[in-house]
Amino acid sequence: MTTRTSIKTVLLATPASDCHVVANKLLEFVCQKPGYKVHNFGVCTPTEDIVAAAKEYHPTAILVSSQNGHALTDLASLHQDLQAVGLAHIPVYAGGNLSVGANKNPQLVREQFQAIGISVLDSFDALRPLLVSLAHDQVGYAECETGEERAAMHLSD
């Protein structure tokens, strides 16, 4: 008989082509503070390693931090790879600099990531309500489009 633990687990990584570690370490700290068990795979993590870790640890969520703007390409197969091993139910969130170039279009970036099964976190400010939401097994957080909606959801707890 398997007993479900109340301790939530998250996987952290940066995409395969990204070697920026600072935001990744900040994510680790922010996730540990409220009691999450964190498995941090650090920089330059191929999707195959993320999937293998998901199979091993069965996380509540996967958080990916990018600074070089190439996460969309690096993570293009992640959701499909998770699906192939029966783990498509694990939500994947990406944050940081998610596109290249000086002219950023946040809505387009969000739509591109949604098309590959990944939700976008707009800022570190969005992380705390996400962690609260995941801790309470609330469904639908990824559907929140703005910081105001996330804040309202958090305040209604």
What is the DSSP code string of the chain?
-PPPPS--EEEEE-BTT----HHHHHHHHHHHTTT-EEEE--SSB-HHHHHHHHHHH--SEEEEEESSS-HHHHTTTHHHHHHHTT-TTS-EEEEE--S-SSS--HHHHHHHHHHTT-EEE-SGGGHHHHHHHHHTT-S-GGG--SHHHHHHHHHT-
- What is the residue range of 44's domain? 9-155
Look at the chain and report how many structural domains it folds into: 1
Q: pLDDT tens digit string along 71-107?
A: 999 999 999 999 999 999 999 999 999 999 888 899 9
Burial state string for 50-68 with b = 16 or more CB within 10 A and e = fewer than 16:
bbebbeeeebbbbbbbbbb
Q: Is 4 a residue whose pLDDT tops 50? A: no
Does residue 4 sit within a domain? Answer: no
Does residue 84 sit within a domain? Answer: yes
Does residue 3 sit within a domain? Answer: no
CA atoms within 13 A on the CB side of 67: 12
Q: How far is CA 16 from CA 39, 57, 71, 134, in A?
A: 17, 20, 8, 26
How much is the pLDDT for 143? Answer: 38
Indicate which CATH number applies to the domain containing 140: 3.40.50.280
pTM score over 0.85: no
Q: pLDDT tens digit string along 14-59?
A: 999 999 999 999 999 999 998 999 999 999 999 999 999 999 999 9
Does residue 2 sit within a domain? Answer: no
Does residue 62 sit within a domain? Answer: yes
